[in-house]
Structure 1
Amino acid sequence: MADVTVDQVGRLRRPAGIRSIRLGDVKVSYVPDGDVRLRPLDLLQDSTDEVWAAHPEYLDAAGHLVGSVGALLVEHGDRALLIDAGFGPQAHEAPDGPLATIHGGALADGLAELGRSPEDIEAVAFTHLHADHLGWACLPAPGGDRPVFSRADYLISEPEWDRRDLLVEQGMAEQVAALARRVRTVTDGEEVFPGVRVRITPGHTVGHAEYVITGGGRRLIAFGDAVHSPIQIDHPDWSSGFDHDLARTADRRRRRLVAELAEPGTIGFGVHFADVVFGHVRQDGDGPAWRPVDA
């Protein structure tokens, strides 16, 4: 397994704050909403106690894998797109399974710090329809009944929206109803914003989507939950306990994604990657490794 730098050790144990990079005329910023703590052996069931004992830099004092919860702001001139919508002003604790704790609530403050308000967002493009990505899009603005993103369309891949019955079965009928009034489905390869194209990559969910952002001779791949932790870059065969189709995410997606992220001029965005959300893959030591990119 590739070595981890001293700087990364501290960053892997804390959720990310605001971080921005430029791709030519496009500015992309991670907007934090909160954090998530995950049980490593339940999340990555092919990992072992020995792996985590050898890599304590990923774990907090309670032995949980530290992750970020938030969204990606994409700005082109006066226009603004948001990819995903955080978890929202709520918290949840689970007694067992991959999820230990999750909380959100900071997204609006992060947008304000970046000089944006929710009303500036022309569309929210979802990677998939899990609660930690829907968050603020399903809630009214504080003190009223208007949507938080009052001007935004909700962009969802066709196969993901076609199977919204799966959400209803999971007790998320209210979220589906809140989304339905604003949904515009998108197809593979469609340009949804200047320099931003969707590609549909089933596996984590039935219609999981990634967004490829190009500008200034570089590209950024916002890969959603195709990968949950940087340690999976070293082990692309390790699927997540949240994945809908374990084989597809490992064999047909993560291996290809890791290879793509090693290509020149390519940056990845991992929304749950602790404080290393922007990075690229470099072959260091015994295998591929995630290296943060912050400028």
Structure 2
Amino acid sequence: MTTTHDERLRRPSGIRSLRLGGTKVSYVPDGAVRLRPTAVLPDTTDRTWADHPEYLDATGHLAGSVGALLVENGDRALLIDSGFGPRSYRPGPDGPIEEIHGGALLDGLAELGRAPEDIEAIAFTHLHADHLGWACLPVPGTGRLAFGHARHLLSEQEWDSRDELAAQGLADEVAALAPRVHTVADGQEIFPGVHARIVPGHTAGHAEYVITGGGRRLIAFGDAAHSPLQIDHPEWSSAFDHDPARTAAHRRRLVTELAEPGTLGFGVHFADVVFGHANPSDGRPTWRPATA
């Protein structure tokens, strides 16, 4: 049975891979999130979503993916983010999140032929729980961290703001990261063909990672956007953004980049369309999934 584009917008992604020359990148699912549409994108209305029902699942929520990006170059392997970890969370009747869960990341890595020990480093986009998961939480039943051997890479600005994030309930996660943290600077190459790009707005030191190979580049843009609909409407910032105006300004620049030839994007929360590019349609860029 053929899966339609609209069906993919309403479900979380499974494993998806593409190649950039000698580099292979794979989305590794950890779980899923269901978001309350007008709460997560406060500039939208019920009318907005009535006009875009293809983005909402059967319960009326925005379906999102939760996971990590595996970057492989020869025998070497890097993770970008580490999912939500082996837990689930239902925060209550208010706020942007209806439900979020993780736990599948290690199984996904195994399916791709990788053990946790193969991962030399985890490069984090930012210090939020759905990106830190497996780096901070022990493997169930073992008491040990799956990636305790790996370097943990964060922007200098993000790590410098850790006290503020700890005050928001992430003190345990920050403490678990601390022994392995190595800060990175804007433009720094952290892995063959992978450069960090610091773009404050979602958080104080939010990072993107630009992966190049085979004459193409992939921008892993973290939480600069949470939904493909924000590629159509970059002016819509999310309720999670630390500085909505700054994030919107960056997202406009990002959309322009994603429309350039040879440029792809990776949106970790983009339902089952995590890889794609901005394709101008009727004068407005629209997210189009990439298949290879």
Q: TM-score, normalised by structure 2?
A: 0.97
Return the alpha-carbon distance in structure 2 between the equivalents of residues 126 and 162 of structure 1: 14
Matched with 1:248 is 246
Matched with 1:135 is 133
How much has 1:46 moved relative to structure 2?
0.7
Return the alpha-carbon distance in structure 1 between the equivalents of residues 186 and 47 of structure 2: 40
Matched with 1:205 is 203
Return the alpha-carbon distance in structure 2 between the equivalents of residues 77 and 174 of structure 1: 35
Matched with 1:277 is 274
Alignment of 1:1-295 (within 5 A): 7-94=4-91, 95-251=93-249, 253-295=250-292
Larger displacement relative to structure 2 (218-227 or 277-286): 277-286
Give the 3-state SS of the residue equivalent to 1:185 in structure 2: strand
> What are the Cα deviations for residues 75-121 of structure 1, in whole angstroms up to 9, with x where unaligned?
00000000000001111112211111000000000000000011100
How much has 1:140 moved relative to structure 2?
2.1
Q: Highest relative contact order (Cα 8 Å, sep 6+), 1 or 2?
A: 1
Q: Which amino acid in the other structure matches residue 69 of structure 1?
A: V
Return the alpha-carbon distance in structure 1 between the equivalents of residues 95 and 60 of structure 2: 14
Q: Which amino acid in the other structure matches residue 17 of structure 1?
A: G
Larger displacement relative to structure 2 (259-268 or 57-66): 57-66
5+ residue gaps, structure 2, are none
How much has 1:150 moved relative to structure 2?
3.2
Larger displacement relative to structure 2 (86-95 or 213-222): 86-95
How much has 1:151 moved relative to structure 2?
2.3
How much has 1:286 moved relative to structure 2?
4.6
> What are the Cα deviations for residues 252-289 of structure 1, in whole angstroms up to 9, with x where unaligned?
x0000000000000000000000000001111135110
Alignment size in residue pairs: 289
Give the 3-state SS of the residue equivalent to 2:245 in structure 1: helix
Report if aligned partners of 2:135, 2:148 keep a CA contact under 8 Å in 1.
no
Report if aligned partners of 2:202, 2:247 keep a CA contact under 8 Å in 1.
yes
Return the alpha-carbon distance in structure 2 between the equivalents of residues 144 and 62 of structure 1: 36
Give the 3-state SS of the residue equivalent to 2:127 in structure 1: coil
Return the alpha-carbon distance in structure 1 between the equivalents of residues 116 and 290 of structure 2: 27
Q: Percent identity?
A: 73
Larger displacement relative to structure 2 (50-59 or 206-215): 50-59
Give the 3-state SS of the residue equivalent to 1:31 in structure 2: strand
Q: Which amino acid in the other structure matches residue 106 of structure 1?
A: A
Matched with 1:3 is none
Return the alpha-carbon distance in structure 1 between the equivalents of residues 148 and 167 of structure 2: 28
Larger displacement relative to structure 2 (56-65 or 80-89): 56-65
Q: TM-score, normalised by structure 1?
A: 0.96
> What are the Cα deviations for residues 120-154 of structure 1, in whole angstroms up to 9, with x where unaligned?
00000000000000000002233333321132100
How much has 1:8 moved relative to structure 2?
1.4
> What are the Cα deviations for residues 8-38 of structure 1, in whole angstroms up to 9, with x where unaligned?
1000011000000000010000000000000
Return the alpha-carbon distance in structure 1 between the equivalents of residues 278 and 145 of structure 2: 38
Give the 3-state SS of the residue equivalent to 2:234 in structure 1: coil
Q: Which amino acid in the other structure matches residue 153 of structure 2?
A: L
